[in-house]
Structure 1
């Protein structure tokens, strides 16, 4: 009787849970655990690698900071290209070099590095003309695109990265001084899309809920950039059009400026600059104009930023992390005490290249692998773009 009972108990303990329960459990585990559990059996491996599971899985939000080594010259080789992970308490948690992913570029010097955006746990990075799709959680990385404009320093540059659910494809967006181009990671062909605003009026950008957002002015011409109304627009990856997000708190024709975009407690937020104060508002219900509420009001002096700087901010609880692009500074402000403190002690401010908020995921970049033949097919179509940037670059270098 005892033997029979123990045998039955042992059989029950090793029995696989029903698929629905197993999926529920696995979706709540961290990425490290899921990577180990793939080796348990074929059934578990198949479930964890399933595309529907990967799109459903999202875990902790993390901030990555791309920087250069403090002991390396500005134009050193890529082996000093560093990515640091910041936890939810804004403490530096992991530091690793990006060299391991870019062996195909060895022997080349690199000057331009950008985080182009994040979506579904994947991060789009550019190193000179090369664009890479990288999963910081699994460390998988491949080259997916390239474009000549990325090796030039041009004013007004911005970028976006989003997912087209109707086609199961990711899209990269490059906002350049005079036009906007989009490329599918599968088709790998750049196309120009309509942008009915002044690109140089852009002051902030943000990826939120896998959608690329911009804060700008609705006037097309630079000379009148502050005579129109401040807007937040977002890029619809399905229609490939820019749509307006309602912002009821912004006064039309007023002097208030949307100086920054951010995420506070999981909600899209903005910093509204007016009369030497910064009002931080959050959109409690995405897409609903009446859901904007004011959380904090601080002075410009407390943040040490001006109305023309480029700022992104992230927040959990009462702390707001500020990424100030103009001076390459990153710090935290406690919105209850209004006290400011520097963070990331291991990274010097002047070495910070970019920041990006992402969620831990198992999404794989490998199905979007770079195919040179695809790019070669359309490279002639973009030759008209290159002289434009070469001329811009010469002008900018002459002004420095």
Structure 2
């Protein structure tokens, strides 16, 4: 056998860790999943939360949509249809094994679902899924989910679930936010002093906080408000302090009521939609939490948008400068910021008795790997479970 000098190739452990992280963070998720088996060091780096966040920043974000059917099938479950859009605004199929579960929120490429008494976590990119929490002991009585959210709490290095519900009372419904970390087995109950409006299923997530539309309760409007016209508000649920805060709105134009017909997040900024004299204004909050930073992004001048009980929710900004929105929970629209044209987007067939929702999604290697809470003593009383009932928005 001919002897020769072997070329020396640096082993992975001889490469500085910061260089490895820089290289790996530029790779797509599917490639990263293969590289986890190279060595323990790479597996540890790719699985680390900080790397997951760094990789997310480089990934291409895309909008994800789902139809929720109000009617039940033979199994007694509510079936949802999920799909997404590519860069050309063409429909892409999205296989979801949790189609019979209620969607609760998305964070770091992880989707959270609720079904009966369980909460499940799923990463569509890695196909990783598991049960992460229980919905027992949230109190008694029938209740409805008004909004929900899923975020990451860096102060405790854990994910947090927020479920806002309405519990009937003899006088008036009481609204609560139930909050829990995935590592915890208990829920914190926070009373909401306002009436939450059921404009969207999943609350927009910004800086780890949830943002929802609300209004003053009856009798608290103030002397300048018209009867039966409570002031509309934007609420922020601070997930660090577990409390509701009033969020600054832009000043109304002229003598208008300053109504908000949709909330969303575009390019890392909170957005809102309000009616204008000639159409609909989409405003963006350039500096988070600063009232004076509200700026008109664009105005849609189109008479066919003037519909009763109208909602227009900003979802996503494409790399071509098109703002993707959901109209009246029924149709996807795209507004071209350059040509100022409103485009209809082809979408999947609209199921009967259903509503359309959308949110931004980004591929990720995150797995939300937390210790599973110990099993609680089984309780068969139905009123100890929280059920995700369909909300009748109209």
Same fold per TM (> 0.5)? yes
- Give a deviation string over 1:272-298, Cα, whole Å, max 9, x none: 224463111112222232222112112
- Give a deviation string over 1:303-340, Cα, whole Å, max 9, x none: 3544454734322243222223x553333333434333
Match of 1:172, SS state, is strand
Structure 2: runs of 5+ lacking an equivalent: 167-173, 222-226
Structure 1 runs (4+) greater than 6 angstroms displaced: 152-156, 379-382
Name the structure with the higher helix share: 1
TM-score (norm 1): 0.76
Q: 8, 29, 32: which is aligned to 1:34? A: 32
Task: Quote the residue 2:192 is aligned against.
Answer: 195
Task: Quote the residue 1:107 is aligned against.
Answer: none
Displacement of 1:195 after TM fit?
1.4
- For residues 1-400 of structure 1, what are the structure 2 equivalents within 5 Å? 7=6, 10-11=8-9, 16-58=14-56, 59-67=59-67, 74-77=72-75, 82-98=81-97, 113-147=101-135, 157-177=146-166, 178-180=174-176, 181-199=178-196, 201=197, 203-204=199-200, 205-217=203-215, 219-221=216-218, 227=229, 229-250=231-252, 254-275=256-277, 277-299=279-301, 301-303=303-305, 305-309=307-311, 311-316=313-318, 317-324=320-327, 326-335=328-337, 336-344=339-347, 346-348=348-350, 350=352, 354-369=357-372, 371-373=374-376, 376=377, 383=383
Displacement of 1:81 after TM fit?
5.3
Partner Cα distance (1:129, 1:15) in 2: 45
Distance 1:226 1:372, change over 3 A: farther
Displacement of 1:79 after TM fit?
11
Q: Any conservation in 2 of the 1:257–1:307 contact (CA below 8 Å)?
A: no
Displacement of 1:25 after TM fit?
1.6
Partner Cα distance (1:243, 1:220) in 2: 15
Distance 1:170 1:306, change over 3 A: farther
Q: Any conservation in 1 of the 2:110–2:123 contact (CA below 8 Å)?
A: yes
**Which one is further off, 12-21 or 183-192?**
12-21
Partner Cα distance (1:222, 1:362) in 2: 49
Distance 1:117 1:368, change over 3 A: farther
Distance 1:220 1:51, change over 3 A: same
User: What value does the CA root-mean-square deviation take over the aligned residues?
Assistant: 4.0
Displacement of 1:238 after TM fit?
1.8
Displacement of 1:38 after TM fit?
1.0
Displacement of 1:271 after TM fit?
0.6
- Give a deviation string over 1:210-266, Cα, whole Å, max 9, x none: 43111223x123895975544322222221012233333446984121111123333
